[in-house]
Structure 1
Amino acid sequence: MVGVPHSSGCATCVKRRIKCDERFPGCAKCEKYGKPCPGYDRGFKFIAGKPYRTPRQKSKTDTGSSSEERSKTGSPTTSDISQVGPQAVVLKEQPWSLTYGDVNVMQSLETLIDQFSQPGPSSQKHLVSQWFGFLPSVYGHSQTLDASIKSFAAHHFGKVFQNDQMIAYARAAYGEALYRLRKALKNPSECFSSHVFYSVVLLCLYELFTDTEDPESWMKHAKGLGQLVKIRGPERYRNDLDITLLKVSRGLIVMHSMFSGEPCFLATEEWHQMMRQQRVPGISPDFHNSVEQFFAYFTYAPSLVHKFYHLKHIDISTPEALPIISATLEQALDLQSKLAPWYEQFSRIAPPPLDTLASTDDPLYPIILTYSDMNHASIYCGYYAYMVIIHEILKTFGYPGPQAAMVIYYRDQICRSVEYSSVGVLGPYRLGFPLRIAIEVADSATRLWILARLEQFSKVYAASEPKNYEPIMP
């Protein structure tokens, strides 16, 4: 195929026609040559040329058979490919399961999975990175999911290589994914499938990584995701894929509920029990049980915040405000009493963080927190955020105790976790909720510090745009 490299070496060695040693991250030959090594990625190759044309078919019988086979597998037809346009994306080799040449997804997915799993060994993968591992096995079975995968993968590599053509292709694939998703959701035989569920999760994540114009965009997808999870019902989550997708989705569902004012349907014993019963592979029983217990408490956070936020719009000195204040205080104290023994148990399973010198001369947080595991860090930061909410409520309504000092302590615990937790492609995603809460109670110096980090994150993770972090709590 014209324009497709056959060597697995770096581009410089290929151009120089010498054997590349393929050392990672850059080869020794380039180092000796005195030029930076461009790396080995062959995920996407954009070429200018004529649109793809359907090959001449031998017979009507063969055509019918081929069309029927593609219909069964859900793979795109040649008419779908012809819509890609002049900027085509070509395959280095055709994977066994694919019969079309629009994008080298299968080869790129392994790189994508590896990058989203960093940092740490495979045994310490964050839950979100785990579900990326399903991508190769589900690709090629659903046109809706295929388009969603292509849009997300192309955008990621477009950002990595600063390639505007890839990013433009990602937008086109995203449009196709939305079109196919709407059709799939209207089809009774497809709407509750794992592939459609996967597409909705992936497109929501695409919005979080890409949309810099509309800060509410991810909320719209998160709302649709929640509606789909709710309509599917607890009984549909029985295989590893669906269980992992649900546990990835629930954080977005809770955040949407918290910031939209809508009730969180996951805050029921039926959903809690189902999720306790379904353990994601690779997670120890003790860690699983502790995380599920915390998440059950976490689903009650939206209702607590809603009561607190409602008081912002009324005169708290009036008689009608007293029952709301009483109910808010009662719920906050109840959750505080439940989280205390949970924390003691969890800290025995997952070692608490250690104080370490920051890698930079940070005047505000020269001592940072480091954790034994990225999963542990995510749960600890979620706990800190929850405690900020609880103590802020207790402080606001004058409950006895050092509430103001505790708000500052847990806020600073979140900020001191940023250097460790922000590593890797998913770092900003992991910190989205904790930093959203921390900035609500930040003084001017801390707020500027957080906004500076968010500005850095937003170069890769669009949802971290500082404009998305306007205060919402009283």
Structure 2
Amino acid sequence: MVGVPRSKGCGLCVQRRVKCDQNRPACANCIKYGAECPGYEKGHKFVAVKHAIRSRGQKQRRAYETQLDLSSALTEDTMLQPDEDVSNPRVSTWLATRDATTHAPQSTPGVPGSLCKPALPFVYNMMCELFGIHSRSEVVYSAPWFTSLLNYLGRAPALDTAMCAFMLQLVGSSKRDEGEISRGRDLYGQALRSLQMALNHPVAWKSTETLAATMLCCHFELFAGTLDPVSWMTHAAGVSKLIQHRGRRCFSSPIEKDLLRGFRPIISLQCIFAGEDCFLDQPKWQKLSSSLSLVAVGDGKEYDGVAEPFGALDSSWSRCHDGYFVLLAKVPPVTRVAYEFREDKKNGIAPDPSRVNQLAQQAGRLHSDYRTWYDGAVSGGAILPPIEVPSQDPNSPFDTVLKFSNPWIGSFFTCYWATLIILQEALNECQVGQEQRPYDESNQELVRDILRSLEHVGHGIMGPYRIAYPLRVAYEFVDLPLQMWVESALERYSQQWAALSPETFPRLHGKSGPQLFSDAGSDGTRL
């Protein structure tokens, strides 16, 4: 009979075009991904046609231009608002996603909205628009898994909605389009609900899609700061717990290794700012972390048969890349103990000499390891030292600034300098008496180099990401005029990257002098 669907699979498997095992009451695919199986009854497909007289020679309009599937039919409460332009392809795609997500059809209750209409076309269009505003290397270099997630859309509602929300946030903030930013936040709320269901599912919590969704939600918070500028730290801590529960053996595929490699900096920095030990410093994780970049080297790599270029990462840099982050995971304990010593001294309490000696050895050894890493990276040609060029910023307090071969290479220089400042300040705290601070002059030179790098390293959509950590460290070691200049830069950065809001910096809380990541707010979150 004409028009009768031939597939015997459930409604969701038919839409996703995957094989259904036809188990009852729910198929295995729906159970695996935490979706409620819509069942096996076939709904009718209606074709809406408008009565009109065709002129002679006009071809019949193709069926797909007029047919309306029940899953995306508009009801009275989902009609277009007056300010929405349906002629815009991206808006129409967004509307399809929104309607499918917020108004699931009654005939298929509980179907995740992001799977009722494919998310891939919407995300792909948004990604093309983003790469039209910013260069691809600017966006993808720090997250080589970014475009590879296109191959995983349509498998889990949490990933679909998280990816759509993140793309809307990136494009919306780049264009300063409040409408897209608002839509991104709406989808972000749905992503969190879907993610909670996936994390509570006995199988889906361990999937690659769930891992990617948690990381995307953390990235969203870095850019948007939905609750406050430090809400990303809560998400980063959650991602760390998920990674540990999955175990290192679950990071065997290229995409999972790239997910961990791209998120590794955020894990370490969250631990540094929160004063917590980093699990990546454990021997079993160190072995994995020390080889993550090696899998990204080559002419290209494949995810599900789709080639993905590795970008600017080459073999000489990959070895240094992993070495830096292996060492960075060792920094949080040094920061925490040094901060405790400083607070004890402020309260007139002398630190335990044995702990002071232990910190001096730990910080000194790590300081030496970082120096060795830097010498090897420069001598091996993996990174090129910066050159001095005249400043192009009329508001810059510096006549000359530092320019790097690549802003991402510049990010590693500035992060390396910031880490040296932390270690040297810890060594200063181990000295007896305030007059014995052998690293003060060196720290001032490093701080100056960091600030002179802002002009080149801090531009672009990912500029705040590159400069956030070193700028937060340098801020505590500069005088008031430079602090005011930094705060003016923070106002610009925070428009795109909420995590760099001036609220997270100590002077606005009535504090003066080096704080070494003191409390950022009344809730006790350290930053």
What TM-score comes out, normalization by structure 2 length?
0.71
Q: Residues 171, 362 of structure 1: CA spacing in aligned structure 2 closer, same or farther, 3 A cutoff?
A: closer
The 10-residue stretch of structure 1 (267-276 or 422-431) with the greater mean CA deviation from structure 2: 267-276
SS of structure 1 residue aligned to 2:496? coil
What is the CA deviation profile of residues 188-239 of structure 1, one whole-angstrom value per residue up to 9, with x for unaligned ones?
2211111111111111010111116512311111111111111111112222
What's the counterpart of residue 45 of structure 1? none
**Aligned counterpart in structure 1 of residue 469 of structure 2, from 418, 429, 433:** 433
**Aligned counterpart in structure 1 of residue 234 of structure 2, from 210, 220, 235:** 220
Shift of 1:327: 1.8
Shift of 1:427: 0.8
Shift of 1:303: 0.5
**Aligned counterpart in structure 2 of residue 90 of structure 1, from 89, 92, 108:** 92
State the alpha-carbon separation in 2 of the partners of residues 258 and 338 from structure 1. 18
What's the counterpart of residue 366 of structure 1? 399
CA contact (8 A) 1:255 1:433 kept: yes
Say yes or no: does 1:133 pair with 2:163.
no
What is the CA deviation profile of residues 127-181 of structure 1, one whole-angstrom value per residue up to 9, with x for unaligned ones?
3242222132222222111100111112222223333332221111111100000
Map 1:175-214 → 2, pairs under 5 A: 175-211=189-225, 213-214=227-228
SS of structure 2 residue aligned to 1:365? coil
What's the counterpart of residue 416 of structure 1? 452
CA contact (8 A) 1:315 1:321 kept: no
Which residue identity lines up with residue 211 of structure 2 in the other structure?
A: F
What's the counterpart of residue 109 of structure 1? 127
CA contact (8 A) 1:222 1:252 kept: yes
Shift of 1:86: 4.3
Map 1:346-385 → 2, pairs under 5 A: 346-348=377-379, 349=381, 350-362=383-395, 364-385=397-418
**Aligned counterpart in structure 1 of residue 357 of structure 2, from 321, 326, 343:** 326
Q: Residues 167, 284 of structure 1: CA spacing in aligned structure 2 closer, same or farther, 3 A cutoff?
A: closer
State the alpha-carbon separation in 2 of the partners of residues 67 and 240 from structure 1. 28
State the alpha-carbon separation in 1 of the partners of residues 460 and 352 from structure 2. 45
Q: Residues 114, 273 of structure 1: CA spacing in aligned structure 2 closer, same or farther, 3 A cutoff?
A: farther
**Aligned counterpart in structure 1 of residue 493 of structure 2, from 436, 457, 469:** 457
State the alpha-carbon separation in 2 of the partners of residues 127 and 270 from structure 1. 27
SS of structure 2 residue aligned to 1:459? helix
What's the counterpart of residue 285 of structure 1? 315
State the alpha-carbon separation in 2 of the partners of residues 417 and 185 from structure 1. 41
CA contact (8 A) 1:90 1:104 kept: no
What is the CA deviation profile of residues 23-47 of structure 1, one whole-angstrom value per residue up to 9, with x for unaligned ones?
xxxxxxxxxxxxxxxxxxxxxxxxx
**Aligned counterpart in structure 1 of residue 339 of structure 2, from 302, 309, 313:** 309
What is the CA deviation profile of residues 28-70 of structure 1, one whole-angstrom value per residue up to 9, with x for unaligned ones?
xxxxxxxxxxxxxxxxxxxxxxxxxxxxxx6687696543323
Larger Rg: 2
CA contact (8 A) 1:147 1:177 kept: yes
What's the counterpart of residue 156 of structure 1? 170
CA contact (8 A) 1:125 1:374 kept: no
State the alpha-carbon separation in 1 of the partners of residues 258 and 354 from structure 2. 40
Q: Residues 376, 181 of structure 1: CA spacing in aligned structure 2 closer, same or farther, 3 A cutoff?
A: same
SS of structure 1 residue aligned to 2:389? strand
State the alpha-carbon separation in 1 of the partners of residues 394 and 453 from structure 2. 16
**Aligned counterpart in structure 1 of residue 484 of structure 2, from 437, 448, 455:** 448
Shift of 1:392: 1.7
CA contact (8 A) 1:329 1:393 kept: yes
Which residue identity lines up with residue 127 of structure 2 in the other structure?
A: L
Shift of 1:241: 1.4
CA contact (8 A) 2:490 2:502 kept: yes
Which residue identity lines up with residue 438 of structure 1 in the other structure?
A: A
Which residue identity lines up with residue 93 of structure 2 in the other structure?
A: L
Shift of 1:309: 1.0
What is the CA deviation profile of residues 377-398 of structure 1, one whole-angstrom value per residue up to 9, with x for unaligned ones?
1211111011111222233443
Which residue identity lines up with residue 162 of structure 2 in the other structure?
A: S
What's the counterpart of residue 70 of structure 1? 15
Coordinate RMSD, CA, aligned: 3.2
What is the CA deviation profile of residues 412-446 of structure 1, one whole-angstrom value per residue up to 9, with x for unaligned ones?
11111111111221110111111111112222122
Say yes or no: does 1:343 pair with 2:374.
yes
CA contact (8 A) 2:390 2:401 kept: yes
Which residue identity lines up with residue 371 of structure 2 in the other structure?
A: A
SS of structure 2 residue aligned to 1:277? coil
**Aligned counterpart in structure 1 of residue 326 of structure 2, from 275, 292, 296:** 296
Which residue identity lines up with residue 147 of structure 2 in the other structure?
A: G
What's the counterpart of residue 395 of structure 1? 428
Runs of at least 5 residues in structure 1 that lack an aligned partner in the other structure: 1-57
Map 1:5-20 → 2, pairs under 5 A: none
CA contact (8 A) 1:294 1:342 kept: yes
Shift of 1:369: 0.7
Shift of 1:363: 5.2
Shift of 1:302: 0.5
Q: Residues 435, 138 of structure 1: CA spacing in aligned structure 2 closer, same or farther, 3 A cutoff?
A: same
CA contact (8 A) 1:212 1:465 kept: no
SS of structure 1 residue aligned to 2:202? coil
Shift of 1:240: 2.1
CA contact (8 A) 1:147 1:174 kept: yes
Shift of 1:451: 1.2
CA contact (8 A) 2:71 2:116 kept: no
**Aligned counterpart in structure 2 of residue 264 of structure 1, from 278, 291, 297:** 278
Shift of 1:183: 0.5
**Aligned counterpart in structure 1 of residue 269 of structure 2, from 255, 263, 266:** 255
Shift of 1:101: 7.4
Shift of 1:453: 0.9
**Aligned counterpart in structure 1 of residue 117 of structure 2, from 100, 110, 133:** 100
CA contact (8 A) 1:109 1:136 kept: no
What's the counterpart of residue 50 of structure 2? none
CA contact (8 A) 1:368 1:419 kept: yes
What is the CA deviation profile of residues 61-116 of structure 1, one whole-angstrom value per residue up to 9, with x for unaligned ones?
76965433236768999769979944584239x9xx98727883222222335655
Which residue identity lines up with residue 295 of structure 1 in the other structure?
A: F
Which residue identity lines up with residue 433 of structure 1 in the other structure?
A: Y
SS of structure 2 residue aligned to 1:128? coil
Q: Residues 444, 80 of structure 1: CA spacing in aligned structure 2 closer, same or farther, 3 A cutoff?
A: farther
SS of structure 2 residue aligned to 1:130? coil
